[in-house]
Structure 1
Amino acid sequence: MLVQKITQLLFVVSLLGGSQLFAQNAAVDSVSLALNDYIDAFYYGDTSKIHRSIDPGVHKYGYYRPRNGSTYEGSAMPFREMLEYATGVMKKGKNSNVEKFPRKVEVYEVLDKTACGKVTAWWGTDYVLLAKLDGRWKITNVLWQSPAPKQ
């Protein structure tokens, strides 16, 4: 009788642990989707992915080196400019090399309300903060840098 109760208890505990693991994996997948939407928006000019995965109040700021420049300059890109950039990409048409562009998404941590990750793309490296807003993961902050000079 005692063995049966312990077995039942262990079964219930394993189910609960499994459901937490499933929920955690689903959250990581959802954050990864938002980070991939972010890249796709700029690679393919897909504004629907901006609307789906980026909060309109996003703060994006980054550092780039102008051509033939040796020092970095800073630049902000608000939500409206993200949409304009993506629209410009769409108007130019698909770049035949886009599939060869660098693309890496890393999810560092996912909590119940916040998450963070890293995106590597042709323009450089972006560190991304996300929040779960109205049941969906949205990018709220981005800090980026163009590729570092070759040494």
Structure 2
Amino acid sequence: MKRSIFVLAVAFLLATIAAGQTSSTDDVAAIKATALNYIEGWYEGDAARMESALHPELAKRMILTDPKTGHSQFNHMGAMQLVQNTRRGGGSKTPKDQQTKEITILDRYNNAAVVKIVASGWIDYLEEAKVNGEWKIINVLWELKPKPSR
């Protein structure tokens, strides 16, 4: 009897762990797919694909500092503006061989993830959240890469 209870307990534990790993694997794939929809949507000028990646309350932000004055300026863009910019062509003029899209999941805990995208001319840090079962980008902090010297 004790052996049967022990075997059932171990079986339950293993099933729980396996289910958690499947969910985790599925979530990792979904987090990356969301990031790909965002960056590839931009490069392809595909507004529907971009919109599918974004939460409607998205905030995309960057700080630009004038190298001559040292004065910093805060820039903000919402989901609607980003989708409209994508609809107008986005990064579609970037040659395919220059469309960098290195995606790295930096951290994930339950329904929150931080993703880094190294793109052709900038780096994005995405904050994604699982909303109603789907991963959506909530915030983006981005920085331009330095232009190569000529």
The normalised TM-score by structure 1 is 0.80
SS of aligned partner of 1:89 = coil
Identify, as 1 or 2, the structure richer in strand: 2
Question: 1:122 aligned to 2:130?
Answer: no
Which position in structure 2 is the counterpart of 1:42?
Answer: 42
Which position in structure 2 is the counterpart of 1:57?
Answer: 57
Question: 1:26 aligned to 2:44?
Answer: no
Distance across 1 between alignment mates of 2:142 and 2:106: 16
Q: Does the 8 A contact of 2:104 with 2:115 survive in 1?
A: yes
Between stretches 138-147 and 96-105, larger displacement belongs to: 96-105
How far the C-alpha of 1:73 sits from its partner, in A, is 5.2
Which position in structure 1 is the counterpart of 2:83?
Answer: 83
* 1:27 counterpart letter in structure 2: D
Cα 1:73–1:149 change in 2 (3 A) is farther
Distance across 2 between alignment mates of 1:48 and 1:149: 30
Cα 1:45–1:150 change in 2 (3 A) is closer
5+ residue gaps, structure 1: none
Question: 1:110 aligned to 2:133?
Answer: no
Cα 1:96–1:56 change in 2 (3 A) is closer
Instruction: Count residues with an aligned counterpart.
Output: 147
Cα 1:37–1:113 change in 2 (3 A) is same
Q: Does the 8 A contact of 1:63 with 1:146 survive in 2?
A: no
Question: 1:136 aligned to 2:134?
Answer: yes
SS of aligned partner of 2:110 = coil
How far the C-alpha of 1:81 sits from its partner, in A, is 1.9
Q: CA RMSD in A?
A: 2.8
SS of aligned partner of 1:104 = strand
How far the C-alpha of 1:10 sits from its partner, in A, is 2.1
Which position in structure 2 is the counterpart of 1:15?
Answer: 15
Q: Does the 8 A contact of 1:65 with 1:146 survive in 2?
A: no
How far the C-alpha of 1:131 sits from its partner, in A, is 1.7
Distance across 2 between alignment mates of 1:46 and 1:149: 26
The normalised TM-score by structure 2 is 0.80
* 1:142 counterpart letter in structure 2: V
Identical columns (%): 17
Distance across 1 between alignment mates of 2:96 and 2:62: 22
